[in-house]
Structure 1
């Protein structure tokens, strides 16, 4: 009898667990470091596949390469109905939380890396709050050395400033204004990053339970 292989379709946003215990989180790579194609989960499509974003029918690219692995924390959501009083009253951007992973290895699109969060940048993009969690993959040679933002500055000098400047300026070549940052224009510490992750995980849970309107978002 011939064997038939079946593959269960899963959503990188909804079906991958956020936490693995002991302060370890799953991170899904959307954009590998040293690449520029604007890949992201299609939050309005069933199973939210990772696809290249389009604008006016054209594939979108950043104006220059991103220097870190970039992607999302599964099972998180920035609620667009929630005004964050700690960050200029900005409302969530209706997406999963973004991660900037600073390790040396280049990830692959769709790869799941085990990370530990180190800090958080509160980017404000056209009035919307768009958190950037700074993290490191546990398999990086320097992972044991970095546990908070101060360690990042010590072992990856200049990286936090480079991340902030990259995200501040990347829209300028398209004629748009620079993005802004809350929390004093600096990266908040690990505890603050964990608070952001917890709150956005709780918002995601309300979303999938349909206690918050999903509108165009896919919940499968």
Structure 2
């Protein structure tokens, strides 16, 4: 019977495929060809429709989140130290991740091995909403990249454009447009530090006790 049970993508999957080599497990929610934005239903672990992609901008990457991470106190304090904005708080979601690949992946709801190369420090209505940027392990085009400084400028520009515009749809209740800004683009080492903060926040939030694991 247990073989029929599906692990929850947020809680039932390890963060790292190889902690030593910094190879992440990334759960993918949406792909570039999606015309609607999907997101994880935290209660059930299934994907649900968040909203239609009403604009022509398309994310040039696989997009999802990092299992067993949480944007809470540690993630917020990390950004506060770098920005000097004391009012910031975490967005209370798992850390988001964009995975660059030359391959045409046709659907989400899958796990990929990804190597972090950097990230965007994004603030969304006063909440820290970092976007970790990674490459698909062994990808023929992006797989050799190890730091965001080696990423093509055009790819980064398209990613920035997507995140700064995809929420430019007025809230149906307030008629306000979300205020998003990308304050910094950071490299591999800082991305690892953000991920570590997200992992610590997850452990604190869910009183997580690490069990012996084969992941090294």
TM-superposed CA distance for 1:5, in Å, is 8.9
Contact 2:102 2:139 in 1 (8 A): yes
2:94 matches 1:106 = no
Q: 2:54 aligns with which of 47, 52, 63?
A: 63
* 1:20 and 2:11 matched: no
Contact 2:59 2:159 in 1 (8 A): no
Matches for 1:25-36 after TM superposition, within 5 Å? 25-36=24-35
Give distance in 2, aligned partners of 1:114 and 1:73.
11
Q: 1:144 to 1:177 in 2, by over 3 A?
A: closer
SS in 1 for 2:153: coil
**Secondary structure, in 3 states, of the residue corresponding to 2:97?**
strand
Give how far 1:13 is off: 0.3
Residues 59 and 158, structure 2, Cα contact 8 Å, conserved in 1: no
Q: What are the superposed Cα offsets for residues 60-91 of structure 1, whole Å, 9 maximum, x if unpaired? A: 11223333211011111001684431243421
Following TM superposition, the consecutive aligned residue runs of length 4 or more in structure 1 with deviations greater than 6 angstroms are none
Q: Point out where structure 1 has 5 or more consecutive residues left out of the alignment.
A: 54-59, 212-220
1:198-213 pair list within 5 angstroms: 198-209=196-207
**Selected match of 1:73 from 58, 61, 66:** 66
Distance 2:115 2:149 in 1: 15
Instruction: Sort the Cα spacing of 1:68 and 1:206 in 2 relative to 1 into closer, same or farther, 3 A.
Output: same
Query: What is the deviation of 1:36?
Result: 2.9
In the other structure, the counterpart of 1:57 is: none
Number of equivalent positions: 194
Q: Does 1:192 align with 2:183?
A: no
The answer to whether the 8 Å contact 2:116/2:188 transfers is yes
Partner of 2:5: 8
Once the two structures are superposed, the pairs formed by residues 85-164 of structure 1 within 5 Å of their partners are 85=80, 86-87=82-83, 88-89=85-86, 90-107=88-105, 108-152=107-151, 156-164=152-160
Quote how far apart the aligned CAs of 1:139 are.
3.3
Contact 1:145 1:151 in 2 (8 A): no
Deviation at residue 6 of structure 1 after TM alignment:
5.1
Unaligned runs of 5+ in 2: 171-175, 210-216
Q: Give TM-score scaled by structure 1 length.
A: 0.80
SS in 1 for 2:130: strand
